[in-house]
Amino acid sequence: MDGVGVTKITVSEDVALVTFCRMPTDPSVMAGVFSDLASAGINVDMISQTAPQGRTVDLSFTIPSCDLLAVLDILNHFREAHPSVRPMMSNGNCKIQLYGDQMRELCGVAASVVSAVAQSGADLMLITTSEVDISLLIPQACCMDCVHALEKVFSVQASYG
């Protein structure tokens, strides 16, 4: 399986992870958060939601680190209406995106990706996927080792930007 399924690896640095723990399952609440972020000009990526636990979910997403202070302002406003929500933030991460049209039809690409991350010793903070893309959030301190492991497994040179 190694070396198959990924044709492009892209690395973005200075990425922050924002998690809202115990977010109400009501989609209008989540829509309000994303609307507030959009109104503030904050670009959101890697959106991930856990399965509901009763009437709450955990919602995670990434933003550019430079937008973290603006998110704090939005979060403080949000918590006034929803005091049970627990925010968590992590700065100093990198996002590694792996792309390949073959992923749509090929089993095992995710297994190879996660195995490479494990072999590099990096913590996997967040993972999101589409049919042709796997995005990983890794602590910046582990980024280079993780990228090198992925480059080796898939025989693809990463680009930064």
Q: What is the pLDDT of residue 3?
A: 65
Task: Outline which parts of the chain fall under CATH 3.30.2130.10.
Answer: 8-13+93-160
Could you identify the residue written with the tokens 């922050």?
16
Which homologous superfamily does the CATH classification assign to the domain defined by 8-13+93-160?
VC0802-like (3.30.2130.10)
Per-residue pLDDT of the chain (161 residues; tens, 9 = 90+): 556 899 999 999 999 999 999 999 999 999 999 999 999 999 999 999 999 999 999 999 999 999 999 999 999 889 999 999 999 999 999 999 999 999 999 999 999 999 999 999 999 999 999 999 999 999 999 999 999 999 999 999 999 98
Q: What is the pLDDT of residue 111?
A: 96
104-142 exposure pattern, b = at least 16 Cβ within 10 A, e = fewer: eeeeebeebbeebbeebebeebbbbeeebebbbbbbeeb
**What pTM value is reported for the model?**
0.92
Q: What is the pLDDT of residue 27?
A: 95
Which homologous superfamily does the CATH classification assign to the domain defined by 15-91?
ACT domain (3.30.70.260)
Task: Outline which parts of the chain fall under CATH 3.30.70.260.
Answer: 15-91
> CA torsion angle for 79, 82, 84, 88 (degrees, to 10)?
-40
11-49 exposure pattern, b = at least 16 Cβ within 10 A, e = fewer: bbeebbbbbbebbbeeeebbeebeebbeeeebebebebe
